[in-house]
Structure 1
Amino acid sequence: MARWCDRCASNLTTVAVAYSAGADSTALLLAAHRRWPARVVALHVHHGLHAAADGFESHARRFCGLHGIELRVDRVNAAHDAGQSPEDAARLARYAALASMARDAGADGVLLGQHADDQAETLLLALSRGAGLPGLASMPEFFERAGMRFGRPLLDVPASELRAWLLAQGHAFVDDPTNTDERFTRNRIRAVLMPAWDACFPGFRPMLARSARHAAQAQRLLDELAAFDLAHTGMPPKIARLQSLSRDRQANAVRYWLRISAAVAPATAQLDELLDQISACTTRGHRIHIKMGPGHVAREGEHLQYTPTL
């Protein structure tokens, strides 16, 4: 088990592990604790979204006490705002809480327990939504969020292997009852599509993971091209200089600009409309004003400008 953590935590003095008390994070926590017994701290986020959350925290406290692992707990308000999905609200609250607890513990990074099944589900979910390369790249092994580094050392490990290891060792874990609620798309993928893929393509998980890595590599190349093109157009981009690029390179540059400057991912229809307006912008009085995420892109003189809605 410990070998799965080495690439993510070998340079960290304190190893923080996001610990939900479920099977995946339990396996990761134990692997890290065995590898670095004096350096591991478990981070548990209590979302308060369902009645079982109190039981998860109680189990986490008992388990960490039994194994002599330091545990930190943060209770957050993960309620979603109007127009925001409950999953997005919970995810944002969770990452913010994990980053804060990790900093307080003196950790430079946090290990997460997502595994090969999670990666496959993420890719299938992206395909169902018609996602572009950023979505098809699925979950990266390393990333930064809320000012903290995160690592996923188990992306090549099937969930069945993790559970088999825990059961063989006699370790207890909890099952989140919401994971079987098929009102959520990801749960329907887990319950219906994943068994069908297993039946048709045994051992498909590494193949989907490979596709995700190819998509991530292609996206990195597109990001390099976008940075090159934005060095030409300026930041924010000058409309006339955008017009000197092909439409595909315009789309790539605008996506990249919006992502790095405003954390906005435009819908396909919105981006197509913006590119049409850029093409038509040949007079001084031409107006551009298009909704984009939680704000809008507008023409400001010779440049495009993104303004969030207050």
Structure 2
Amino acid sequence: MAVAYSAGADSTALLLAAHRRWPGRVTAFHVHHGLQAAADGFETHARAFCALHGIALQVSRVQAAHSLGESPEAAARDKRYTSLAGMAKQAGVDGVLLGQHADDQAETVLLALSRGSGLPGLAGMAERFERHGAVFGRPLLGVASADLRGWLQAVSHAFIEDPSNTDVRFTRNRIRAVLMPAWNACFPGFRTMLARCARHAAQAQILLDDLAQLDLIQSGEPPAMAVLRVLGRERQANALRYWLRHSHGVAASAAQLDELLDQIADCRTRGHRIHLKIASGFVDRSGDRLIYTPPDII
């Protein structure tokens, strides 16, 4: 088993708990992002901490700088998961544990609400998921950040405070600094309530995915428009979202999906062409079927 260890409070608590539960069987994975001068200090602390406690440590250095037009948070997150998955494969471990906790889950749901996200966003972070061929788990989603820090302080275990966590240029940090205290003042215990909402959303999304799979069995893949038109508009939208997400790894905006549904409804002659931008690629008509062409093929 491996733990993604940043040297911050949350991952420190998780690493120590895992080490106590499986002594001698846990490896710490530390990703050096290269995004800030303090990153060298994180690695130095991680090495000293793991040596002190007799925990095996692997360090991976990545360049997590974002490209033009790319979200800095998304770029860093993707590089981190890619690196963790690579270390997991190299070490031959079954899975990687992540230190996200109840506060992180609440922030994720509030962020999704602020963006007008659908059920996948409102479902928050999954307790278990796969990415880049590795299995990841989040065992602390039911534990508050204050409880983790309180335990570390009670047993006198050192951790690093990441200075970027107070940078309010990042949306999540603004939610943490401004919105979370306001919610707590109005609704004490809101973290538990938001976690419950996330579970309900995740359950509802599972049912919608099951329905989409049944509809795509009928329409075939790529989906046939004649079969889609028999379905109601909402059910068409659900099937198309699932097809785009699971077959091509992309998500259509609400405006793009509405336009695609309108074109499917109007496309009843051989000469009617569909060529609609979805994410960074295009959905086109090929005979009576819809095909998606990613940007690297266009």
TM-score bracket, normalised by the shorter chain, equals: over 0.9
The match for 2:118 is 132
Distance 2:32 2:286 in 1: 45
* Amino acid aligned to 1:59: H
1:250-294, CA deviations, whole angstroms, 9 ceiling, x for partnerless residues?
000000000011110111000000000000001001011111111
Distance 1:278 1:105 in 2: 49
* Amino acid aligned to 1:223: D
Q: CA deviation at 1:108?
A: 1.3
Q: TM-score, normalised by structure 1?
A: 0.95
The match for 1:5 is none
The match for 2:233 is 247
Select 2:54's aligned residue among 48, 52, 68: 68
Q: TM-score, normalised by structure 2?
A: 0.98
1:72-91 equivalences under 5 Å are 72-91=58-77
1:168-207, CA deviations, whole angstroms, 9 ceiling, x for partnerless residues?
0000000111110111111010001110111111111111
Q: Does 1:148 align with 2:147?
A: no
The match for 1:4 is none
Select 2:105's aligned residue among 91, 112, 119: 119
Distance 1:270 1:125 in 2: 22
Runs of 5+ consecutive residues of structure 1 not aligned to the other structure: 1-14
Q: CA deviation at 1:25?
A: 0.1
Distance 1:279 1:108 in 2: 47
The match for 1:11 is none
Select 1:93's aligned residue among 68, 74, 79: 79
Q: CA deviation at 1:83?
A: 2.2
Partner SS state of residue 58, structure 1: helix
User: Which structure 1 residue ranges, 4+ long, deviate > 2 Å from structure 2?
Assistant: none
Distance 1:203 1:187 in 2: 20
Distance 2:77 2:291 in 1: 29
Q: CA deviation at 1:102?
A: 1.1
Select 1:228's aligned residue among 196, 214, 218: 214
Q: CA deviation at 1:164?
A: 0.1
Q: Which has the larger displacement, 74-83 or 33-42?
A: 74-83
Select 1:257's aligned residue among 243, 259, 276: 243
Distance 2:84 2:171 in 1: 25
Q: CA deviation at 1:82?
A: 2.3
Select 1:237's aligned residue among 209, 223, 226: 223
The match for 1:277 is 263
Distance 1:300 1:22 in 2: 52
Identity, % of aligned positions: 71
Distance 2:75 2:171 in 1: 16
1:59-107, CA deviations, whole angstroms, 9 ceiling, x for partnerless residues?
0000000000000000012122222111111111100100111111120
1:182-197 equivalences under 5 Å are 182-197=168-183
Select 1:161's aligned residue among 147, 156, 161: 147
Count of residue pairs brought into register by the alignment? 296
Select 2:18's aligned residue among 19, 32, 39: 32
**Pairwise CA RMSD:** 0.6
* Amino acid aligned to 1:263: G
Q: Does 1:267 align with 2:271?
A: no
* Amino acid aligned to 1:238: A
